Amino acid sequence: MTSAKPQILIIEPFFGGSHKQLIDTLVECLNLADYEIFSLPAKKWHWRARTSALYFSQLIPPEHDYKVLFTSSVLNLAELIGVRPDLVSCRKIVYFHENQLVYPVREVKERDCQYGLNEILTCLAADVVLFNSNFNRMSFLDNVQPFLNIQPDFKLKHIRERIEKKCEVLYFPIKFHAFPNKRHMMDAELSTAEPHCLHLIWPHRWEHDKNPKLLVEVLMELNKRQVDFKVTICGESYQAMPEAFDGIQQKLGAKLINFGHLTREEYIKALLTGDIVISTAGHEFYGVAMLEATYCGCYPIAPNKLVYPEIYPKENLYNTSNSLIKMLYNWCRNPDLFRRHRDKFFDYFNFERYSAQHLVPKYMEKMRITV
């Protein structure tokens, strides 16, 4: 008697960061016998987008009982189905962590249109298209036609309409229960965690779309105004250190208490001792690090654009670098007033709608799985 084959096929061409985090969170609710994962390491993103469909087409067994195919938008699903028509009967679910139609490039001429076209074709081949935020969904849909209009000698029409009816928003599920929560800790545990000066946290990828240049400008201005603060600059770094960070350790001295990648234990400790978590992003489709830091007790400050107005109240958002500087300067001068303000924020901010416990059952429902 042969054992049953897995019915869920999970494909992730970029198995790292939030892509890996999502899959790890979902499979915790599944039996090992229920699913099979095919993945590639999270590097060489451009080649993953170009060639992973061909790679996986050779790797996925020809004999299978797959009923559901779950993948991210890095995979060109249309190519995979084209060379593996045996997978066409699966319920094909694609998750968009970001989208290439509006993903920022430093120079317009750098944009390779193939990646955006891959995502459009992937949506057409899918049965369900999930986005991690409404900003992600709308920025994609609103740019389908303008993107296709780049094509010079004929016009592609009605593509958006075909895609839109498949699209839904399903927030990224964050395992808040795996984090300690400063607001629920005993006063004795926090006695050493709340020194007088404010601790600022910047926990983002060290890449240009997170705008480290703006962060440095703000910190230098605060330093120049001689207010007391300390700062943690952490997050993943896939390439060379941003030019904006050159010399920052010398310029900030003892105020820069963490600089570079932290272990998970160090990261959580920094968040628990943090007061404010800052985003300077030029682009953000969701912002896992911001929500994690907020859950741990940091007051979030983010640009009044991108996904942020969807998640945070307007008083947590800034419009200009000057307004960010002014906000931080006033709070650094009066930490006690700031902390009273922060306490009010946590009285009404709702974490449940972003939590894994609330969201994972909705993912299972999309796969039509009962757990």
Structure tokens at 298: 């940091």
Element (H, E) at 35: strand 35-41
- Could you report how far apart the first and last alpha carbons of the chain are, in Å? 26
Each residue's pLDDT expressed in tens, for the chain with a length of 371 residues: 456 899 999 999 999 989 999 999 999 999 999 999 999 999 999 999 999 999 999 999 999 999 999 999 999 999 999 999 999 999 999 999 999 988 655 454 555 788 999 999 999 999 999 999 999 999 999 999 999 988 888 889 999 999 999 999 999 999 999 998 776 654 434 444 455 899 999 999 898 889 999 999 999 999 999 999 999 999 887 667 889 999 999 999 999 999 999 999 999 999 999 999 999 999 899 999 999 999 999 999 999 999 999 999 999 999 999 999 999 999 999 999 999 999 999 999 999 999 999 999 999 999 986 55
Cα 227 to chain center, whole Å? 32
Write the CA distances from 56 to 49, 62, 64, 125, 170, integer angstroms: 12, 11, 14, 16, 26
Distance between CA atoms of 89 and 67, rounded to whole angstroms?
7
Nearest to 290 by CA among 303, 272, 304, 278: 278
- The pLDDT of residue 187 is 45
CA–CA distance, 140 with 226 (Å, rounded to integer): 44
**CA 270 to chain centroid:** 20
Q: How many CB atoms lie within 10 A of CB 40?
A: 21
CA distance 60 to 293: 38
Lookup: tokens for 288: 């896992």
- pLDDT at residue 1, as a whole number: 46
Put simply, whether the predicted model's pTM sits higher than 0.85 gets the answer: yes
